[in-house]
Amino acid sequence: MASPKRKVVMIEGDGIGPEVCEAVRTVLAATDAPIEWVMAEAGLGALERTGTPLPDATVALLKEHGVGIKGPTMTPTGEGHRSVNVRLREELGLFAGVRPVRTIEGVHHPLAGLDRKVDLVVIRENLEDLYVGFEHDGRDHPQHIAWGIPNDAKIALKVITPERTRNIVHFAFLYSRSHGRRKVTCVHKANILKQTDGMFLRIFREIAEMCPDIVADDFIVDAAAMRLVRNPEQFDVLVCPNLYGDILSDLCAALVGGLGVVPGANIGHKCALFEAVHGTAPDIAGQSKANPTALLLSACMMLDHLAETKVADRLERSIVEQIQFGASTPDIGGSSTTMQVAEAIAHQYRVLAEHEDRKE
């Protein structure tokens, strides 16, 4: 008896978003995963059509169905509307950013030839730190002059709370345990930021003591960045405040070939949103050059979240095998179009499923 279909919200986004989302729909159709797509919109296109980059209807659909997948959305730099990604995390309580990063054979990367493999997960607190967006003009708060801050300065507040720190640290240890990981590393700057990062580190150490089955250690963020480049094998799961997690996850992506091959998820207590972590790439939009790998791997994470573990595992193996067989886009050394990659992965999934089902 077939499983009942689960409604999943899809946000295509901007730039190459519609192309990589079409690839996801094509591949998942081949898996027969019990998914019914519910289309929604967000980003620059939504702003032009509706007057807002994040329509209330989109948020309502995500709250109703509890799971979604999205393509990249355009965020203006220095002016304009606030990041749709940040707003979605806030509106939906998506406190944990999860980014698995691992070396894929066949993808060129900076560590090639050095016999080094990356297989780690960056877990980022999503809802606070500098991303709360509490910024103001020094002229509006002249008391800062007493601290040696000139009144023409621009000021941003870094906010770290005990509750959200505990949420993300607990999540990191539970994730490690459920995914067969053995070590959690806290990344911080507690030597300088003794109140904010100092509290983050203290809470991490308290929770680590309650999880003796998981090895725990910590590094100052600049030292962690250096160690990631020199010896990424020493890391397993990293748990970070918002800003450091944002930066280090991109650094880790560069170690395995770029953002085009790294998936991402934002997880909350009531909702989960899976997304490619790359940008909208407007320079190649509509040219069939977009790499769908990151969003397809994000779809694997989504399937695992929906307890479709067998489908998720088969799909991930199909994606990796097709890259090794040469079905890849120009950004990672191939010559295939977006949909050629999708169709090759769909075919490989069918072959793999038929072979394994016959053995069962």
User: Is 7 annotated in the active site?
Assistant: no
d(CA 240, CA 197): 10
Q: Which of 33-42, 137-146, 147-156, 344-353 has the lowest mean pLDDT?
A: 137-146
User: Is 5 annotated in the active site?
Assistant: no
Q: What are the pLDDT digits (tens) for 321-352?
A: 998 888 889 988 889 999 999 999 999 999 99
d(CA 188, CA 183): 16
The CATH class of 110-255 is alpha beta
User: Is 131 annotated in the active site?
Assistant: yes
pLDDT of 80 = 59
Instruction: Tell me the one-letter amino acid at 310.
Output: K
Query: Per the CATH hierarchy, to which homologous superfamily does domain 1-97+258-360 belong?
Result: Isopropylmalate Dehydrogenase (3.40.718.10)
Distances in Å between the Cα of 250 and the Cα atoms of 92, 149, 228 are 24, 32, 12
Residue 360: which pLDDT band, with cuts at 50, 70 and 90?
low
Residue 82: which pLDDT band, with cuts at 50, 70 and 90?
confident
For residue 147, pLDDT beyond 90: no
Q: Which of 8-17, 94-103, 274-283 has the lowest mean pLDDT?
A: 274-283
Helices 309-325 and 293-305 sit at what angle, rounded to 10 degrees? 160
Global pTM reads 0.92
d(CA 5, CA 265): 21
Q: Name the catalytic one among 129, 175, 189, 244.
A: 189
Contact 74, 18 (CB under 8 A): no
pLDDT of 113 = 66
User: Is 140 annotated in the active site?
Assistant: no
Same-fold call for 1-97+258-360 versus 110-255: yes
Residue 52: which pLDDT band, with cuts at 50, 70 and 90?
very high
Distances in Å between the Cα of 30 and the Cα atoms of 139, 219, 274, 355 are 59, 44, 20, 15
Distances in Å between the Cα of 202 and the Cα atoms of 131, 193, 317 are 22, 13, 39
pLDDT of 75 = 73
- Regarding predicted confidence, which is higher, 355 or 78? 355
For residue 64, pLDDT beyond 90: yes
pLDDT of 142 = 66
Q: Name the catalytic one among 32, 137, 217, 222.
A: 222
For residue 78, pLDDT beyond 60: no
Q: Name the catalytic one among 129, 197, 218, 246.
A: 246
Distances in Å between the Cα of 296 and the Cα atoms of 88, 106, 169, 299, 307 are 21, 17, 27, 5, 17
pLDDT of 30 = 95
pLDDT of 145 = 65
Domain ranges (residues) in the chain? 1-97+258-360, 110-255
Q: Name the catalytic one among 131, 175, 244, 349.
A: 131
**Structural element, H or E, at residue 39:** strand 35-40
